[in-house]
A = this chain, B = another copy of it.
Amino acid sequence: MTISFAGHGLDRADNLRPDAVAQAELRARPDARVLVLDGLSPLLDDANRLSWAGLDSLPEGAETVFLGLDAGAPVFAVVPLAGDDRPAYLQRPNWVAIAVLSPADLALYSGARSLVDWHARHRFCARCGSATAIAKGGWQRDCPACGAQHFPRTDPVAIMLVEHDGALLLGRGTQFPPRSYSALAGFIEPGETIEQGVAREVLEEVRVAVHSVSYLGNQAWPFPSQLMIACHARADARDLVIDYSELDDARWFTRAEVAEAMARGKDARAFIPPPRHAIAWHMLKWWLENEA
């Protein structure tokens, strides 16, 4: 395969980030605009599109990040007072909004949300504890005390379809909505390859050994700032020993059950599949369309 996701079509114009004069000029332009957020949730207009305002709407001293140029017009977002690193399904306003956004708006919102949330949760220097200052158009924070530079995080996460003899292993996180199942997933740790991360997570969560890990595709996911890396892996046996500190349940599903769930969505008998804007949905769709 590959699973691919649309980008937002902005020119990130990163060459303009380090130039403080250029940044001030961009902010002063009459066509400059800022993404309107309610905390970290998007505010949608009547056509379910992202909302925008002029930069004169901003309070004095607001920290802005430069997202890029949209057909030449400078586009910004504002750092909120507080961040929020909870998973998406615990943030209903976001969960509802991201389901109706166009792919391009979702990509734009995702990048903006990850960036401003990172600033809100990283106002101090991790090296020395001093207050830091936003820099490079919002793509860096600098420490005036010790000189450390800090960069926004993007955390790689492995998400995997584990297959055995035509059946698929899916699980429920401890805070998933009722009857929902999805692909197992976990953060890739320092010193680990993607394949090693896949094998370790599956072993930790359900004590199943996997092999033949292959790459399927990737997606940016903004709760708070993940790079979801989709993989397929094979297991040699089906015995599960579930780690209930991480999972509420895990089960093997037949191809017919997965097909029924994907076809009927929230009304399915087998289980409720992941939402369409999550890479897990695309992984299940790919699996149904491809022979074992």
Contact = CB atoms under 8 A, between A and B. Distances in A.
A136 interface: no
B15 A243 contact: yes
A107 B243 CA distance: 27
A227 B188 contact: yes
A288 interface: no
A150 B129 contact: no
Given A121-B127, A154-B155, A114 B219 contact: no
Interface in A104-121: 107-108, 110-115, 118, 121
Interface in A133-157: 139, 148, 150-156
B154 A7 contact: no
A200 interface: yes
Nearest to A111: B191
A48 interface: no
Interface residues of A, number: 59
A255 to B, nearest CB: 26
A184 to B, nearest CB: 14
Contact of A227 (B127, B131, B148, B194): B194
Given A126-B126, A126-B150, A129-B129, A111 B15 contact: no
A83 B108 CA distance: 35
Interface string A1-37: 0101101100010110000000000000000000000
